[in-house]
Chain A
Amino acid sequence: NAGVTQTPKFQVLKTGQSMTLQCAQDMNHEYMSWYRQDPGMGLRLIHYSVGAGITDQGEVPNGYNVSRSTTEDFPLRLLSAAPSQTSVYFCASSPGGGGSSYEQYFGPGTRLTVT
């Protein structure tokens, strides 16, 4: 299993540009999430999905869109990039449910710089 994969690894955008960060998992997990990691702020949840066709907002959703058309894929779209979106973005998946199913499996991250 490849686990959780993310592309690209690095990206530089100009203010106002749009782009999509890709995330895929091959573990048949129902739950998928996007986080951003900023110094001193920890990991903050952007959007999450509890299954194909179902998405919801996390703590910091403004400026980002998601969709979940398949169980495997959960892309994150930046609509109009701003310097405040400079961050490291992590995608994660988990089986869902209770107990040990709460463990989240993380992708390697995408480092995004907006100039």
Chain B
Amino acid sequence: AQRVTQPEKLLSVFKGAPVELKCNYSYSGSPELFWYVQYSRQRLQLLLRHISRESIKGFTADLNKGETSFHLKKPFAQEEDSAMYYCALMSNTGKLIFGQGTTLQVKP
């Protein structure tokens, strides 16, 4: 089965602390993985995709096929990073499968 799991509903850190949002997936073959973000009162938007190996707003995510993980990391959290984060997997039929989402709360 193709599945995305985000084990944490809520992650609360202080400003300046490192952040790691966990994402594990189940997929046979080479996965296409994404992180989407939803800031308060804004629409859901793409943050980054593994295929482009980019860093957006200081966030990075590395695909680990051995551990079937795609964790989102940032070395120093900012208050404006507070949002809902979704990990997503492109299925082999072209559908996007989302995880349950993790709310990141960055405290001052």
A, B bound: yes
Question: B95 to A104, Cβ gap below 8 A?
Answer: no
- Size class of A's contact patch? 20 to 34
- Across chains A and B, the number of contacting residue pairs, with CB separation under 8 Å, is 50
Chain A: which residue is nearest B91 at the CB level? Answer: A45
Complexed CA–CA distance, A35 and B96 (Å): 10
Residue A12, interface by CB 8 Å: no
Q: Using Cβ atoms and an 8 Å threshold, which residues of chain B touch A33?
A: 95-96
- Known contacts A40-B9, A99-B51, A102-B49: does B43 contact A45 (CB below 8 Å)? no
Q: Using Cβ atoms and an 8 Å threshold, which residues of chain B touch A50?
A: 94
- Known contacts A40-B9, A42-B101, A90-B44: does B86 contact A104 (CB below 8 Å)? no
Residue B27, interface by CB 8 Å: no
B54-108: which have CB < 8 Å to A? 86, 90, 94-101
- Size class of B's contact patch? 20 to 34
- Known contacts A33-B96, A41-B100, A45-B95: does B43 contact A102 (CB below 8 Å)? no
Question: A44 to B98, Cβ gap below 8 A?
Answer: yes
Complexed CA–CA distance, A35 and B52 (Å): 26
Question: Which residue, A50, A58, A104, has most C-beta atoms of chain B within 10 A?
Answer: A104
Complexed CA–CA distance, A43 and B51 (Å): 22
Complexed CA–CA distance, A44 and B45 (Å): 16
Binding site for B on A (CB under 8 A): 4, 31, 33, 35, 40-45, 48, 50, 58, 90, 92, 96, 99-100, 102-104, 106-109
